[in-house]
Chain A
Amino acid sequence: TQLLEQSPQFLSIQEGENLTVYCNSSSVFSSLQWYRQEPGEGPVLLVTVVTGGEVKKLKRLTFQFGDARKDSSLHITAAQPGDTGLYLCAGGRRYALNFGKGTSLLVTP
């Protein structure tokens, strides 16, 4: 059973477009992280959200944690080719860190 469902699974857009990817669960998490992974490399932590309703910004990336701490979204403004990668969300519960299957993003010039 997948605790975290990410959508869409694949996304191909052109440079300059905006996009949102989602991470949903029926479980409550104490925290939620977003990672970005490039081919052949390990995931790199982008952000951690802890409080329900929390919004964090990282340059052109905006992360939001749902009020009930069951879901999250990642919005990218004016996507660039360097944003290409696999975006993973991970939910933290006591003694566990569970990952979704990821959203594979391709940004073409």
Chain B
Amino acid sequence: EAEVAQSPRYKITEKSQAVAFWCDPISGHATLYWYRQILGQGPELLVQFQDESVVDDSQLPKDRFSAERLKGVDSTLKIQPAELGDSAMYLCASSFRDLGTEAFFGQGTRLTVV
């Protein structure tokens, strides 16, 4: 069964360091999302791609966060420099259609900033 792949599963980094997360969506899915989730709360959208183009990055803290999906397939989310408040689960999801429906999630990357 096709899955969204994310790596790493866990990451511990010191504040002010750079950290990167990788996501490989389900083959053929044009829409890719990056969400951040604080423990016990719902996911909050950071950035959404349609193929290689950014559709929505209004909630992405652009002074420290960047995201790219150069070939419209896999994607990387980077944080530089990391801050203590960035500790959270970072989730990647993909969707076949571009109408915000039926997103399938990876297992996420649990980031701890110390």
Residues in chain A within 8 A of chain B (CB atoms): 6, 30-31, 33, 35, 40-45, 48, 86, 88, 90-102, 104
Say yes or no: is B75 at the interface (Cβ < 8 Å to chain A). no
Cβ–Cβ contact A96 & B41, under 8 A: no
Across-interface contacts of A41 in B (CB, < 8 A) = 107-108
Across-interface contacts of A86 in B (CB, < 8 A) = 40
Across-interface contacts of B95 in A (CB, < 8 A) = 97
- Given the interface contacts A42-B105, A42-B107, does A99 sit within 8 Å of B42 by beta carbon? yes
Residues in chain B within 8 A of chain A (CB atoms): 4, 6, 33, 35, 40-45, 48, 50, 55-56, 91, 93, 95, 98-108, 110
Across-interface contacts of A91 in B (CB, < 8 A) = 100
Cβ–Cβ contact A43 & B100, under 8 A: no
- Given the interface contacts A88-B42, A88-B43, does A48 sit within 8 Å of B102 by beta carbon? yes
Cβ–Cβ contact B104 & A98, under 8 A: no
The 8 closest A-B pairs by CB, nearest first: A42-B105, A92-B100, A99-B42, A97-B100, A92-B101, A101-B42, A31-B101, A96-B100
The docked-state distance in angstroms from the alpha carbon of A93 to that of B100 is 6
Closest to A91 in B: B100
The docked-state distance in angstroms from the alpha carbon of A25 to that of B45 is 18
The docked-state distance in angstroms from the alpha carbon of A101 to that of B48 is 19
Cβ–Cβ contact B102 & A102, under 8 A: no
Cβ–Cβ contact A100 & B42, under 8 A: yes
